[in-house]
Structure 1
Amino acid sequence: MERRKVDILCVQETRWKGNKARSIGAGFKLFYYGVDSKRNGVGVVLKEEFVRNVLEVKRASDRVMNLKLEFEGVMLNVVSGYAPQAGCELEKKERFWSELDEVKESIPTGQRVVIGADFNGYVGEGNRGDEEVMGKFGVKERNLEGQMVVDFAKEDKETWWWNEEVQDSVQRKRLAKKKWVMDRTEENRQEYKELQRRVKREVSKAKQKAYDELYTTLDTIKGEKDLYRLARQRARDGKDVQQVRVIKDRDGRVLTSEESVQRR
């Protein structure tokens, strides 16, 4: 940090137990959280001259924490995250994204957010269809964890599959969030969390229906892009995953052969 003139740094897999702040030398201080000295743990390192700018430290878990600072009236939220590795259970991955969602949603509108995280995923080469949230210089093929990163980056940007139920639920959730931000009572918090759950249910149903319809258009460019998302959604719903092998002929036409694979 000293050599590269870095003032704020998010760190992961610190493996330090506790929820403290400590000087680590060379004029830097580490705010960290961990529950096990052998695994996980996240933190944010600050140049000590900025420690006085810290307003709040929110430690959601040993995988997600948020450091809120104020610079000349501007609120900056620095979120450090550490996603489960590819071999971990899907439940642990979903818990991480839920925690990250909750931290992000708790940040009032207008405040700046920077997320520095080890997402443990590959978003893949190219960015066709996802240009608004990623560049085109990724590596390898996109995996499940990488798709989760892309989905998180889009939030409400991907709205082509919305129906009336989803639109209504999202609007209610936004109003509930605004109400909770203005008056942080337990009642308002519970109302907001319930609407969050409702939105997720409506989104899940709407996505499933939309993806099932797109499944009939696999020989199109758009259909090819959505193959991975369709498989991921069905896997999360606990249904059989249809594996689709994509092959193109000399004219660029997509040929498909399907085989039903029981989700393990």
Structure 2
Amino acid sequence: MTGKGRELADMMERRKVDILCVQETRWKGSKARNIGGGFKLFYHGVERKRNGVGIILKEQLVKSVLDVKRVSDRIMSLKLEVDGVILNVVSSYAPQVGCQLEDKEEFWSKMDEEVDGVPRKDRLMIGADFNGHVGEGNRGDEEVLGMYGVKDRNAEGQMVVDFAKRMEMAVVNMYFQKREEHRVIYKSGGRCTQVDYILSRRCHLKEIGDCKVLPGESVARQHRVVVCRMRVETKKRKRVKTEPMIRWWKLKEEDGCRQFREKLQQALGGSEELPEDWETAAKVVRETGKNVLGVSSGQRKEDKESWWWNEEVQESIQKKKAAKKKWDNQRDEGSRQEYCEASRIVKRMVAKAKAQAYDELYERLDSKEGVKDFYCLAKQRDRAGKDVQEVRLIKDRE
């Protein structure tokens, strides 16, 4: 994930992806952080540069989080309340083919436990790198699979099918007829396979409108992004009205204070004394404040973590994306080297942009504005690191 957060946010914004499950984040810790564009990453990892899972939410869903469960460095989940509907999202990363059987059994045991703990009435979606080949066709497994997989099934793929049967889940990827380029998820050394899957409850499969691979994205070197479109019938919620606020803090500025004093004196007919009637005095002060200082929208200012993002970084990412597309089409050594070099350039550009932005911030620390910016950034990061930002529901006593 290092250096890729803003790139993922950019992809989600362009592709209109609301929720993204990520694996192999390789970050140590159990935190949440803004990755830019209003998107927030919830992640969990035990060892640096090994395993790790996460879930990214768009800005409008961040306040909908009710609970975060970090089961292991291979499994985590979020519970959200979206317009009266409870949605549980699980991100998981299964042990690779060469891992010990005990590790695989422990992983699937924890997955069973996690899914069993989700009430049947709740929506449940799993986005996972299961490191298994389910294969093409569905003979004997029609209740959990569609027809449209890739190549043959292996032992790890059978574990995915068995899990889906136990939990009454459906492997969403398999139900939509697509050309192979929109089904192949993992490409390496001439091998084309399908190891990443999206699962939903069988009873909610009708809510899935489409599922496919995005071959043109370059956010991962070998894995491709799998997306599905889900339409849930929600309950209409009453919107909470927000009240605009007068920008009284501008009175701290010399120019704002002077203009306010002059306009207030004019409103009072040249007098420096306020009317004795409180309601009249308050009305005059408020009207003058609105006209001179202006009003805010009433909405809380959203945290902007990607303040270091610039045009050079954006251009380098576009070049990387073009190189990835060229490599996918040609699959030769020259195009692979070109893509690897483009990836290295993006990492350098991101590191350079961040370092430059921080240097500029440190230089401004001697000024009043610089100190203010520093404390605002610290406050934003503290707020962004919290899993649940506001209480949405209160559980009944059990």
Report the TM range for the smaller structure's normalisation. 0.5 to 0.7
Which letter does structure 2 place at the counterpart of 1:31? F
C-alpha spacing 1:104/1:59, structure 2 compared with 1 (3 Å): same
Q: Distance in 1 between matches of 2:23 and 2:69?
A: 16
Do structure 1's residue 139 and structure 2's residue 118 form an aligned pair?
no
Residue-by-residue CA offset, 1:44-76 (whole Å, 9 max, x unaligned): 000122111000000100000110000122110
Corresponding residue of 1:116: 127
When the two chains are superposed, the root-mean-square deviation of aligned CA atoms in Å is: 1.1
Corresponding residue of 2:33: 22
C-alpha spacing 1:47/1:156, structure 2 compared with 1 (3 Å): closer
Q: Distance in 2 between matches of 1:66 and 1:155?
A: 19
Matching of residues 55-94 of structure 1 within 5 Å: 55-94=66-105
Q: Distance in 2 between matches of 1:136 and 1:108?
A: 29
Corresponding residue of 1:260: none
Matching of residues 110-259 of structure 1 within 5 Å: 110-155=121-166
Residue-by-residue CA offset, 1:215-237 (whole Å, 9 max, x unaligned): xxxxxxxxxxxxxxxxxxxxxxx
Q: Distance in 1 between matches of 2:153 and 2:103?
A: 20
Other structure's SS at 1:86 match = coil
Which letter does structure 2 place at the counterpart of 1:48? E
Q: Distance in 2 between matches of 1:129 and 1:156?
A: 17
Other structure's SS at 1:60 match = strand
Q: Distance in 1 between matches of 2:166 and 2:123?
A: 16
Contact 2:116–2:167 at 8 Å: present in 1 too?
Answer: no
Residue 28 of structure 1 and its aligned partner are, at CA, apart by 0.5
Residue 109 of structure 1 and its aligned partner are, at CA, apart by 2.2
Q: Distance in 2 between matches of 1:65 and 1:126?
A: 30
Which letter does structure 1 place at the counterpart of 2:69? K
Residue 140 of structure 1 and its aligned partner are, at CA, apart by 2.2
Other structure's SS at 1:39 match = coil
Runs of 4+ aligned structure 1 residues displaced above 6 Å come to none
Do structure 1's residue 6 and structure 2's residue 21 form an aligned pair?
no
Give me the TM-score of the superposition, normalised by structure 1: 0.58
Which letter does structure 1 place at the counterpart of 2:39? F
**Bigger share in strand:** 1
Q: Which residue, out of 102, 127, 145, partners 2:113?
A: 102
39-48 or 129-138, larger mean C-alpha shift = 129-138
C-alpha spacing 1:96/1:156, structure 2 compared with 1 (3 Å): closer
Q: Distance in 2 between matches of 1:156 and 1:9?
A: 22
Contact 2:75–2:92 at 8 Å: present in 1 too?
Answer: yes
Contact 2:69–2:76 at 8 Å: present in 1 too?
Answer: yes
Residue-by-residue CA offset, 1:10-59 (whole Å, 9 max, x unaligned): 00000011000000012200000000111100000001221110000001
Q: Distance in 2 between matches of 1:129 and 1:145?
A: 17
Which letter does structure 1 place at the counterpart of 2:21? C
Corresponding residue of 1:239: none
Percent identity of the aligned residues? 71
Do structure 1's residue 42 and structure 2's residue 53 form an aligned pair?
yes
Residue-by-residue CA offset, 1:167-219 (whole Å, 9 max, x unaligned): xxxxxxxxxxxxxxxxxxxxxxxxxxxxxxxxxxxxxxxxxxxxxxxxxxxxx
C-alpha spacing 1:141/1:2, structure 2 compared with 1 (3 Å): same
Which letter does structure 1 place at the counterpart of 2:154? N
Residue 143 of structure 1 and its aligned partner are, at CA, apart by 0.7
Residue 156 of structure 1 and its aligned partner are, at CA, apart by 6.4
Q: Distance in 2 between matches of 1:15 and 1:156?
A: 29
Other structure's SS at 2:29 match = coil
Corresponding residue of 1:164: none
Gaps of 5+ in 1: 158-264
Corresponding residue of 1:214: none
Which letter does structure 1 place at the counterpart of 2:55? V
Q: Distance in 2 between matches of 1:2 and 1:90?
A: 39
Gaps of 5+ in 2: 1-11, 169-398
Which letter does structure 1 place at the counterpart of 2:122? Q
